[in-house]
Amino acid sequence: MSPLDRTPPALRGADGEGSVQVHQDESAKIEGAKVFSVYGKGGIGKSTTSSNLSAAFSMLGKRVLQIGCDPKHDSTFTLTGTLVPTVIDILKEVDFHPEELRAEDFVFDGFNGVKCVEAGGPPAGTGCGGYVVGQTVKLLKQHHLLDDTDVVIFDVLGDVVCGGFAAPLQHADRALIVTANDFDSIYAMNRIIAAVQAKSANYKVRLAGCVANRSKDTDEVDRYCKTVGFNRIAHMPDLDAIRRSRLKKKTLFEMPDDEEVVQVRKEYIRLAETLWNGTEPLAPAPLPDREIFELLGFD
């Protein structure tokens, strides 16, 4: 829309029909597995949460696939112990001829059998994250890598600001939001809730709840949730053991069994059990900007 346009775009209807969203390729549907998309403010600990949640699902005997959807491709490095190449990097090497790829070219084994994929992203300032996610899912389906999978976890970068990075919501059964007990994180959560609500008009995705991460207290998170009709379904405290696990390129399930680590592991196992058993499909009402400032803003 140019600066002189007076009529805003229509944002209703199916994705791709009078919408700024990218429509899902019908051949890319994920069937059989339970699919979760993890969102939250940049730097809030989505990758830490995703990787430890994947590990927890694997400890419950589930066959898990984690897909990192961030150009910096560090979603799975605590599961694999290294930065694995991205799907986009591998496709470039074969001049974007996916038929030349083998599964082992882009799927890597992680802790306790968790399968790890880094989708990557387009070059800075170009392309669309939705295309990258779509190509990754197509490759996984072409190689039948989703046939023997119980749980798929998408770890998605930062706040949802465009249809491209909302693309994993087209595949997910439930969206999980990682937040902290502060204004910026909760403001981002409010925007993500709005994005999920928009996608839920055309896709099966619904909100599962939020995880309070790196937070001693949860009072502000709980106050927001009570106001909009949302649920906090886990709390990961701000422990140094979690920071150290990232530095050691390990999940918490590979760290020494000190009291702090054991307690957080139990919370991740409890979260995995909650998600596996099924959560109520939540439909909170996101707050307008002015109202969220009044709820959580400074005096």
What span, in angstroms and rounded, lies between the C-alpha atoms of 174 and 181?
Answer: 22
**Of these residues, 15, 70, 155, 159, which one is catalytic?**
159
**Of these residues, 15, 34, 41, 199, which one is catalytic?**
41
Encode 136-155: b = buried (16+ Cβ within 10 Å), e = exposed. bbebbbebebbeebbbbbbb
Encode 39-50: b = buried (16+ Cβ within 10 Å), e = exposed. bbbeebbbbbbb
Q: Contact at 8 Å (CB) between 210 and 224?
A: no
Tokens 């306790």 -> residue: 112
Taking CA atoms, 62 is separated from 72, 148, 170, 205, in Å, by: 27, 10, 23, 21
Annotated active-site residue 159? The verdict is: yes
Encode 75-87: b = buried (16+ Cβ within 10 Å), e = exposed. bbbbbbeeebbbb
Q: Structure tokens of 78?
A: 């605590």
Annotated active-site residue 72? The verdict is: yes
Annotated active-site residue 25? The verdict is: no
- DSSP label at residue 173: S
Annotated active-site residue 199? The verdict is: no
Closest to 168 measured CA to CA, from 151, 187, 155, 158: 155
Q: Contact at 8 Å (CB) between 137 and 30?
A: yes
**Of these residues, 34, 46, 199, 250, which one is catalytic?**
46
Which residues carry out catalysis?
41, 46, 72, 159
